[in-house]
Amino acid sequence: MLSLLLLSLPSSQLRAETSPGSKKTNLVFILADDLGWADTTLYGQTKYYKTPHLECLAKRGMTFTRAYSASPLCSPTRASILTGLSPARLGLTTPNCHLPQTVLQATPGTKAPPGNKAVQPIPVTRLNTTYPTLAKTLRDAGYATGHFGKWHLGPEPFSPLQHGFDLDLPHTPGPGPAGSYVAPWKFKNFDPDPAIPDQHIEDRMAKEAVSFLEKNQNRPFFLNYWMFSVHAPFDAKKPLIEKYRATAYPADPQHSPTYAAMVESMDNAVGTLMDTLDRLHLTDSTLIVFLSDNGGNMYDKVDNTSPTSNAPLRGGKATVYEGGIRVPCLISLPGLTAPGSRNESPIQSTDFFPTLLDALQLPTPPDVAFDGISLLPALKGQALPSRPLFTYFPHDPPVPDWLPPSATVTEADWKLIRLFFQGENGAHRYQLYNLQNDPGEKTNLAPAEPDRVQRMDALLESWLTANKTVLPIRNPQFDPAKYHPENEGRPAPKPPAKPKKPAPSPPTSAPAK
C-alpha cells in the first residue's frame, strides 16, 4: 500500500528550515466540494444536518454570510483560489480538467445547436503551471506544502506537484472519489487501511493530513485539504445513514439521510484537524480557512429526492443564481479575528490569495495583479471598501434553474445577470434583483430599472474587457423555429428507460444430447 506520494526537493527542505523562535504562522485551507450555503448550521437554514465542528471553528473566528465562489462549478473556483485570478481571465470556466485534451488558451466557439442563440467559448482544460500560485509562494517562503484530496485542475504535468506542493495525496486528477466514499475505493496506489473495514475516504484523508501536521509541527506549513465531500457519488457510512433516516421529515426540503451522513463525515474530518492542532499546541499560530467551491447540488437524485436544498436561495450548482455561488465561509486566526464574529460584506474566492499573503506577512509575487482584494481589514473588524463582484459562466448545463451563457455583477444589494444574445435581434437580455428584499431572486426588476441596468452592465463590460475574456458569440446558424425559451430553467428530461430484455423461455422439453 502506498500511503504517501512525496516529491523530495532538497531546496524546499532548506527553505523550510527556520531558527527557534522564528516560526511563521501556519495555514490550513479546507475546501468542501458542492457544500451549499444552507448545508451547515452556520446560517440557521438547517436543523437536519449537523455540523458541530464547524460551529466550534466559527466560535474561534469569523463567519462570512455573503461569501461567493468565483464560479458555480468546481475547477474554476479552485483555480481562482490558487491564483487570485478570475475564471474569466484564466479562461478556465468548466470542470473539464480530467478530460484527455490539453487546452491552455480559451478560444471562441465555432458551433452550437440551431436552437441556441449563443455559441459558447472553448475553455481551458488545465491550470497552466506558468501562473504564480499560493502554494509556490508559500513554499518559496519556507513553508512545507501538502495537498490532500480532490484536485481537478489537471493531471501530470499539471498536478499539485507542479503547482507548488511537495506532497500530493492521493494524486488523482479526477472529479470525485473513485467508485465510493466507503472502502474499498478505486484510487490507484492508494488502498484503504486493511485494519479498518468500511473506512470512509474523509477519515483516511484526515488521518494522512494529521500525519503531515505531526511531521511538520516544528516548521511553517501549508495544509491544503480539498475534500471529496460532499460531491457525488452519494455514499456514506451505513450506520450514519440509518441514524438520519430515523429523523428524516419528507416535508423538509433537506431530507436525504445519505447526504446528511455525508455532511457529518465531512464535519468530523474538520474536527479531526482542529483536535490535532490543539493537541500539538498549534491552534494559536495557525490560520484556518473553510470554504466551499460552489453551491449545493440540486440536479442529481439520492434517496428519491434531490441531494439537498439551497432554500431560500434560488438555484444551485451550475447556475449563477445565489444558490449556485453563495457558499459557507469561515476564517480563524487567534489574535486577529474576534471569536464568534460575523461579517456581511460580499467577498469572493479570488480574495483568498491576497488575503493570506497579507495575513501571513508575505510579499505579493512580482508582476501579479490579483482580481481579488485582501480581507485583512474585515478580519480585524474594519470595513471593506465597496466594490462590485463579478461571475462569468458562459455555459448552460441543463440543471434546474439553468440559464443561457451569462455573466453577473453584484453591487451592494443589487445583482445584474447578463444573458448573452438572448434578447431581440441579437441584443443581450437582463435580469436584475435586489438581494436585500428578494434573496430568492423571484422578481426581475430589469424592466423597471433601465438606468440601473445600463450602469451596471457598463461595469460588467469594463470588467470583461479588462480580463481579456473570451466571450460567447452570436450563433450564425440560429434557427428561430428551433428556439424554445419556455425550456429555460427546466432540467433536462430524463432519458427513457431502456426496455428490459425478456428472460429466455424455459425449454419445453429436455435438450437433445
Domain residue spans in the chain? 23-384, 391-487
Average of pLDDT values for 434-462?
Answer: 98
On the question of pLDDT at 66 being above 90, the answer is: yes
Which DSSP symbol is given to 6? B
Average of pLDDT values for 132-144?
Answer: 97
Q: How many whole angstroms separate alpha carbon 433 and alpha carbon 441?
A: 6
Q: How many whole angstroms separate alpha carbon 104 and alpha carbon 99?
A: 13
What is the pLDDT at residue 373?
97
On the question of pLDDT at 418 being above 90, the answer is: yes
What is the pLDDT at residue 20?
37
What is the pLDDT at residue 191?
84
Residue with cell 474499498: 184
- Among the listed residues 126, 195, 121, the one whose alpha carbon sits nearest the alpha carbon of residue 157: 126
Average of pLDDT values for 105-127?
Answer: 97
Average of pLDDT values for 384-408?
Answer: 97
What is the pLDDT at residue 277?
98
On the question of pLDDT at 12 being above 80, the answer is: no
Confidence of residue 14 (pLDDT cuts 50, 70, 90): very low
CB neighbour list of residue 385: distance below 8 Å, 6 or more residues apart: 373
H-type alpha helices, 235-394: 238-245, 257-279, 322-325, 352-359, 376-379
Q: How many whole angstroms separate alpha carbon 402 and alpha carbon 478?
A: 20
Count CB atoms within 10 A of the CB of residue 2. 12
CB neighbour list of residue 269: distance below 8 Å, 6 or more residues apart: 202, 203, 205, 206, 225, 227, 229
CB neighbour list of residue 432: distance below 8 Å, 6 or more residues apart: 414, 415, 416, 417, 444, 445, 446, 449, 452, 453, 456
DSSP string, 161-223: GGTT-SEEES---SSS-SS-SBSS---TT-PPPTTSTT-BHHHHHHHHHHHHHHHTTTS-EEE
What is the pLDDT at residue 9?
37
What is the pLDDT at residue 496?
64
Q: How many whole angstroms separate alpha carbon 75 and alpha carbon 57?
A: 26
Coil vs helix vs strand at 329: strand
> 23-384, what's its fold?
Alkaline Phosphatase, subunit A (3.40.720)
Average of pLDDT values for 9-19?
Answer: 35
- Among the listed residues 102, 98, 108, 109, the one whose alpha carbon sits nearest the alpha carbon of residue 124: 102
**CATH number belonging to the domain at 391-487, selected among 3.50.50.60, 3.40.50.620, 3.30.1120.10, 3.60.15.10:** 3.30.1120.10
